[in-house]
Chains A and B, each alone.
Chain A
Amino acid sequence: MLSRIAESLFWLARYIERAEGTARILDVNYHMLLEQSQQSYHLRWEPLIVMAGEEDRFRKLYAEANGENVFEFLAFRPDNPSAIVQCISKARENARTIRDRISREMWEDVNGLFYLANSYIPRDEVAAGPHRFCDKIKFGAHRFHGVTDATLPHDEGWEFLRAGWALERAEMTARLVDVQYHNLLDGPPAAAALDNHQWMAVLRSVGAYEAYHRQYHPPIEPEKVAEMLILHPQHPHSIRFSAAEVQAALRAVSGSGRGSYANEAERLAGRLVERLSYDRIGEIFQQGLHGYLNDVLRMCGSIGGDIARTYFYYAVVA
């Protein structure tokens, strides 16, 4: 397989996942807004901008970070490369460069999602709130997963898609947890005493609400939610599960077996999976959740860089 094609598959998956993750985070914040209607608690929107790494750009465009501005910025702004619509455009651009290598169904699906995402009028959506738009994006991303799974041969190209998806998802979940803990625990004291609606919203945003209740007894506790999202071995949105997916995809490409690794990306992925498999949530909180998640994000960044160095880039040879 051409390196460029592997790279495009990897980024196609990442951009779709990033769009979906951003939609989820916006939607959670919105749900929390509904839940706290009677409270004096002030919802914080800045962490979403920090999460996207777009503070400078945001400040140039808006005077304050409120629900409308942040939604418009993260969903639609053409000058924000992390905006959902821009991510979908880039996903489609990547798909276009490899449309001869993906299934016709995949291409038509992502092309349709592109036209859908671009059909919204930002002003109207901002007025309506993020739910309507974000829900369509989430559904669109899920459908693309399904179409891909059902129509693309599960060969090495598929493994690059899987690696891209899982790596991006690990990062997005880490950011989601980080942002919400800032929101809820670092806020005014009254916030911590709130009932657990916010945590329900976090769980619902990744479709983990029912799974949570099968695993734990009420009431919903922040620590348990974090445990679920970071360390759960099977939930498809947990960081641990996603990291294990990255590792499995990389091994499928290189053919390396258990306990060994063929390149730096695999070594780091292995280390990350080990950590997430044996760490306990209590220790993580003792050590500091924010610091722990930052470590995870740093490792994910390195894995991405090493995948590129191993498979995508050619040093100039003669």
Chain B
Amino acid sequence: MGAAPAYMAKLGLFEGYDTGSFYDEMFATSGHPRPQYFKLFQRLAAMAPEQFEERRKLADLSFLIQGITFTVYRDGRGTERLFPFDLIPRILPHSEWERIDRGLSQRVLALNLFLQDVYGKQRIFQDRRIPRSLVYSCPHFRREVIGVEVPRGIHTHICGIDLVRDSKTGEFCVLEDNVRTPSGISYVLENRIVMTRTFPDAFQDCEVLPVNHYTGELSRILRSLSPRGENEAQIVLLTPGIHNSAYFEHSFLAQQMGIELVEGRDLIVDGGVVYMKTIRGLTRVDVIYRRVDDEFLDSLTFRSDSILGVPGLMGAYRAGNVALANAVGNGVADDKAIYAYVPEFIRYYLGEEPVLRSVETYICAKPDELAYVLDHLSDLVVKTVGESGGYGMLIGPASERNRIAEFRERIQANPRNYIAQPVVPLSRVPSYDSGERCIGGRHVDLRPYCLYDGEKVTIVPGGLTRVALQRDSLVVNSSQGGGSKDTWVLRGEN
């Protein structure tokens, strides 16, 4: 390593920044930025701490006034919080993104084919690539939709696939699939807007690929599903309502696409057709982008105590009178035990090798793997198969002995409900720590959003970079103290 180029001699805000033993997205080694970060580094390093602080406050105020908040339920009241936004973006050079794009497209296609198969002919069981019992025992497997043909064969219209960069190899791998009702895209779009207002100068230096075509593409896909044809498509977004943690996103997407935002009580099923209640009477609904989970969709088919859905909706769905995006029953594909088989799906359905690696996974339903997991609990991450949002998780190395013991009992009582993975040392990005008033390395993941129209997969460049703002924390979920960053994919390499 030679001396740093003269223009980089000044570290400014990054004085004393330590990359630690992790892969740092910004610095190859302490004080030496990676090529994709050269230009931004120069700008930030030239900035006085007060200037940086000022821009940070500006960004926060902008989020607050726009009401870009999410709801937390920990205190039982449902309090609105700002989703913390960190000003230092995560930057990916084009070549790296290109590989991610290829890997995700492949994965989405395979997941969609798996769902078609498992709710259709079930060839995969006959060919013994996955045990039927493992699929049928998924908490989110829906027998009710076996044999239901979905419009244009699309199950996975919208997927959010979580990637992490493993510090040991520097390589991106898939951590989990979210193919039910993934959320977060609104933050991607709003983060970018706030970022261009806060750091307009930085965008002039770097050629950052745009993200704002997402809602247009989604709107086009939803329209194409209409049973009455595209010209008559009445599309709605079904939200659980204002108290849902992702409510901001629901209203944001409805507004961007110019579709009606509805709650269950706005809809009614009559004669196998879905209508919405307007001031001029009932209006037929063709496509529902639903952000309500399967089990709450229809109290006649699923949970009878649900007031969030529409009684009779599944009847209209089966009759083909209304399209739902995403399809019902997708939870079987993002079950954390099924996850271990996705590379096999890619080989089986597509005849290709997976581009992106998966994290090694121990399925507790298998006796030998269960034995290994129970022996190594303090080294592993244990996850509940049907949960998301960072709930129902044990991070072995960071947990107290009695918590590990508690998990041991839970796993033994119901092994099918758990999987375990080695701890992935997530890469880090320099982030502002408002407690310590300095910039430190914080762990990040990446959730790109994939749209599938039945032929090709479209992924807006980048996605949501979630960051664990607490020092040393590996949990990036917003419900657990995580924040987000803008993610830049460059047109070139730097």
Contacts and interface: CB of A to CB of B under 8 A. Distances in A.
Partners in one complex: yes
A3 B279 contact: yes
A107 B67 contact: yes
Nearest to A110: B67
B215 to A, nearest CB: 12
A6 B279 contact: yes
Contact of B276 (A2, A115, A312): A2
Contacts of A1: 278-280
Interface stretch (B127-135, B197-205, B265-273): B265-273
Contacts of B265: 4
Contacts of A97: 241-242
Nearest to B247: A96
Interface in B436-484: none
A317 interface: yes
B263 interface: yes
B250 to A, nearest CB: 8
Interface in B259-289: 260-263, 265-266, 268, 270, 276-280
A64 interface: no
A112 interface: yes
Contact of B277 (A99, A104, A314): A314
B254 interface: yes
B251 interface: yes
Contact of B260 (A2, A99, A312, A317): A2
Given A2-B276, A156-B279, A100 B255 contact: yes
Contact of A4 (B66, B252, B263): B263
A63 interface: no
Contacts of B251: 96, 99-100
A108 interface: yes
Contacts of A101: 255, 261
A93 interface: yes
Interface residues of A, number: 25
Identify the interface centre among B263, B268, B279: most chain A CB within 10 Å of its CB: B279
B266 A2 contact: yes
Nearest to A253: B279
A36 interface: no
Contact of B262 (A2, A96, A311): A2
Contacts of A6: 279
A112 B66 CA distance: 9
A98 B182 CA distance: 22
B65 A4 contact: no
Contacts of A318: 270
A96 B279 contact: no
A69 interface: no
Interface in A200-255: 253
Most chain B CB within a 10 A radius of its CB, from A3, A93, A253, A312:
A3
B278 A3 contact: yes
Interface in A1-37: 1-4, 6
Interface in B117-158: none
Nearest to A114: B67
B64 interface: yes
Contacts of B252: 100
Chain B at the A interface: mostly helix, strand, loop or mixed? mixed
Interface in A105-132: 107-108, 111-112, 115
Contacts of B254: 100
Interface residues of B, number: 24
B12 to A, nearest CB: 34
Interface string B82-121: 0000000000000000000000000000000000000000
A108 B254 CA distance: 17
B193 to A, nearest CB: 11
A3 B277 contact: yes
B317 to A, nearest CB: 19
Contacts of B261: 98, 100-101
Contacts of A107: 66-67
A206 to B, nearest CB: 30
Nearest to A111: B67
A155 to B, nearest CB: 12
Contacts of A156: 279
B242 A96 contact: yes
A132 to B, nearest CB: 23
A114 to B, nearest CB: 9
B67 A4 contact: no
Nearest to B253: A100
Q: Which of A96, A100, A107: most chain B CB closer than 10 A? A: A100
Given A2-B260, A4-B266, A97-B242, A111 B65 contact: yes
Interface string A75-110: 000000000000000000100111111001001100
A311 B251 CA distance: 23
Contacts of B64: 115
Contact of B242 (A3, A93, A311): A93
A203 B194 CA distance: 45
A100 B235 CA distance: 14
A96 B67 contact: yes
Contacts of B247: 96
Contacts of B66: 104, 107-108, 111
Nearest to A157: B279
Residue picked from A96, A108, A311, most chain B C-beta under 10 Å: A96
Nearest to B237: A100
Contacts of B270: 317-318
Contact of A99 (B67, B241, B266, B278): B67
Most chain-B Cβ atoms within 10 A of its Cβ — which of A4, A104, A107, A108?
A4
Contacts of B277: 2-4, 314
Nearest to A109: B65
Contacts of A2: 260, 262, 266, 276-279
Contacts of B276: 2
Contact of A311 (B67, B255, B266, B279): B279
B358 to A, nearest CB: 37
B279 A108 contact: no
A203 B262 CA distance: 44
Nearest to B261: A100
Nearest to B269: A318
B266 A3 contact: yes
17 contacts: A1-B280, A2-B262, A3-B277, A4-B262, A4-B263, A4-B266, A96-B247, A99-B255, A100-B251, A100-B261, A101-B255, A101-B261, A104-B66, A107-B66, A253-B279, A312-B279, A318-B270
Interface of B: 64-67, 241-242, 247, 251-252, 254-255, 260-263, 265-266, 268, 270, 276-280
The 8 closest A-B pairs by CB, nearest first: A100-B255, A100-B254, A100-B251, A311-B279, A100-B261, A99-B251, A111-B67, A3-B277
Given A2-B279, A93-B242, A107-B67, 15 more contacts: A1-B280, A2-B262, A2-B276, A3-B266, A3-B277, A3-B279, A96-B67, A100-B255, A101-B255, A101-B261, A104-B66, A108-B67, A115-B64, A317-B268, A317-B270
